[in-house]
Amino acid sequence: MHPLRLPRMPRLGRGFTLIELMVVVSMLALLSALAGPGLRQLVDGQRVKSAAFDLTTDLLLARSEALKRNRIVVFAPRGGDWRQGWTATANGIELVNRSPLSANLNFGNAPVSISFNAFGRVDVPANAVRVNLAATDTSNSTQRCIELDLSGRASSRVGSCT
């Protein structure tokens, strides 16, 4: 052996083998398949919760504006479909303008429109309003009930309207 030459060291392995890579990929596929349905239900639940919050706060705002302006405020869906959003108007002045919501939402028992009189009470419809808000094709846990009593107070609770 030459005095200036060092003995050759064995080369250390770098990276992963194909078998190791395939095991990791298959484990990730299995975990994502198990987590997928639960994640979808979580997203649907948050979508329903957000829409219920928006509807409740906008109804409270419309009632408040009717009291403040001492005028009738009409709260109605855009284009006759609550999923397209809604508006609240008083004498042609737009007070609330909600943009379209997810197409995966159902507004059950929703009236054609809601009118608050100058005292903040519901004029139209004549009985208490109960809107059942739910995600399409999901369980009872993703439903919300938005109730509007005759005095005009809006509230939201988990579950379907009974």
64-107 per-position pLDDT tens digit? 999 999 999 999 999 999 999 999 999 999 999 999 988 889 99
123-154 per-position pLDDT tens digit? 988 888 999 999 886 555 689 999 998 889 99
Mapping DSSP to helix (H, G, I), strand (E, B) and coil, where does residue 132 land? Answer: strand
CATH topology for 18-158 is: minor pseudopilin epsh fold (3.55.40)
Provide the residue ranges of all domains of the chain, joining segments of one domain with +.
Answer: 18-158
pLDDT at position 39 is 81
45-72 per-position pLDDT tens digit? 899 999 999 999 999 999 999 999 999 9
d(CA 142, CA 107): 13
C-alpha gyration radius of the chain: 28
Query: What are the residues whose beta carbons fall under 8 Å from the beta carbon of 87, sequence distance 6 or more?
Result: 75, 76, 78, 94, 96, 97, 98
d(CA 151, CA 132): 20
| pTM greater than the 0.75 cutoff | yes
